[in-house]
Amino acid sequence: MPELPEVETTCRGIAPHILDRNVRDVIVREPRLRWPVPRRLRKILKGARFTAVNRRAKYLLLETDKGILMVHLGMSGSLRIMPADTPALFHDHIDVVLDDGRCLRYHDPRRFGSFHWLQTLEHPLLDHLGPEPLAASFDGSYLYERSRGRRIPVKQFIMDGKIVVGVGNIYANEALFMAGIHPARAAGRVALSRYELLAQTIKTVLGDAIEQGGTTLRDFVGGDGSPGYFAQQLRVYGRQGQPCRACKSVLKEIRKGGRSTVYCPDCQR
DNA sequence: ATGACAACCTGTGGGC
DNA sequence: TGCCCACAGGTTGTCA
């Protein structure tokens, strides 16, 4: 479920509930995630106190006085705060039990998510990540410079975490529509002025989605259990065969990098 | 370096 | 009604 707005929503949702709380216990029911959950996690995390909650790309960085718990939600993961004695459901893989009788519970049917334990923010998975899309350093000229000579479709280009992080399939489709750029166009053949517009629409679509608590697809819920409300205003994602909201042309669907790609054949060139 | 593609895993929905 | 296949929000690793 999670694209960057969902991860940010989760980050903001759980932060006030875990900050300054001590970890009473850690229950790992299923350690087989994208990478095995560290066997020593329970021993190390027990007694730690959460000191900060941050996000880098789609990684949640739950900092404690003993180290950093790095969590990725993968395709289907979610984190919820709930009473520690709430019966665990199928796919409730990990509980971080807090000292107030509640717990941070990780649920992930597909198990593409991950839990890592870090001593510092230096980690191979965080090494070669591109800039945050909402940072000032991410702009049209950056995209233009990085794209020269690249033949891959511009959609896959902006979904490459080494170029810019946090642009997932839904928002890549939306941002390209808003910028009037055809998703299959070679990245190296998009002009500077159009990249300036694209950088803008990426910031806008992600920013708006964060404001509205993420996109609700199937059962996404934020850290406090409230659903997001962005789905209803998607412009192209999931709307193949339906009329373009701008020009009424029938939206088309193609596959790029194995991902569903929806666009307006008349608005996007 | 680049780009194409398989892999990880379960659940769901559409077509027959 | 039920079965089977394709596909789903992400990312890494391999190979040509």
Which residues numbered 131-150 in chain A sit less than 7 A from strand B, measured from CB?
149-150
Residue A219 has a pLDDT of 46
- Write out which nucleotides of chain C lie closer than 7 A to a protein Cβ: 7-12
| C-alpha to C-alpha distance for A246 and A250, rounded to whole angstroms | 11
CA dihedral A238, A241, A243, A247 (to 10 degrees): 100
A114 touches strand B (CB under 7 A): no
Length A258 CA → B13 C1' (Å):
19
Which strands form A68-72's sheet, in the order they lie side by side? A50-56, A59-64, A68-72, A114-118
Among A115, A125, A113, A89, residue whose Cα is nearest residue A2 = A113
* Residue pLDDT, tens place only, A53-79: 999 999 999 999 999 999 999 999 999
Gap between the Cα atoms of A10 and A197, Å rounded: 29
Query: How far, in Å, CA of A264 to CA of A269, rounded?
Result: 9
Clarify whether A46 is annotated catalytic.
no
pTM value?
0.94
Å between CA of A177 and C1' of B14? 27
Active site residue A189: no
Dist CA A104 CA A155 (whole Å): 35
End-to-end CA distance of chain A: 29
> Which nucleotide has the least CA–C1' distance to A157?
B3
- A133 contacts: CB under 8 Å, gap ≥ 6: A4, A164, A165, A166, A167, A202, A203, A206
Distance between CA atoms of A64 and A1, rounded to whole angstroms? 26
As a rounded value in angstroms, the CA-to-C1' distance for A242 and C16 is 39
**What is the predicted pLDDT for the residue at A213?**
77
Between CA A175 and CA A203, with CA A193 as vertex, the angle to 5 degrees is: 30
Q: How many CB atoms lie within 10 A of CB A169?
A: 18
Exposure of A84 in the CB half-sphere (CA atoms within 13 A): 14
Choose among A70, A23, A72: nearest CA to A43.
A23
Nucleotide nearest to A162 (CA to C1'): C11
pLDDT value of position A109: 95
Which nucleotide has the least CA–C1' distance to A219?
Answer: C9
What is the pLDDT at residue A112?
96
The answer to whether A220 and A77 have CB atoms below 8 angstroms apart is no
- Burial grade of A220 (CB within 10 A; 0-12, 13-18, 19 or more): buried
- 36-75 on A, CB < 7 Å from strand B: none
Residue A90 burial (C-beta neighbours within 10 Å; 0-12, 13-18, 19+) = exposed
Confidence (pLDDT) at A215 = 62
The set of strand B positions with any atom below 7 Å of a protein CB reads: 2-12
- How many Å apart are A158 CA and B14 C1'? 31
Assess whether A261 (CB) lies less than 7 A from strand B: no
User: CA–C1' span, A81 to B12, in Å?
Assistant: 27
Strand C: which residues 142-181 of A lie within 7 A (CB)? Answer: 161, 168-170
Check if A36 is active-site: no
What residue type is A177 in one-letter code? F
Residue segments in chain A with a per-residue pLDDT below the cut of 50? 217-219, 226
Return the pLDDT at A227: 53
Find the Cα–Cα–Cα–Cα dihedral A6, A7, A12, A18, rounded to 10°.
Answer: 130
d(CA A215, C1' C9) / Å = 9
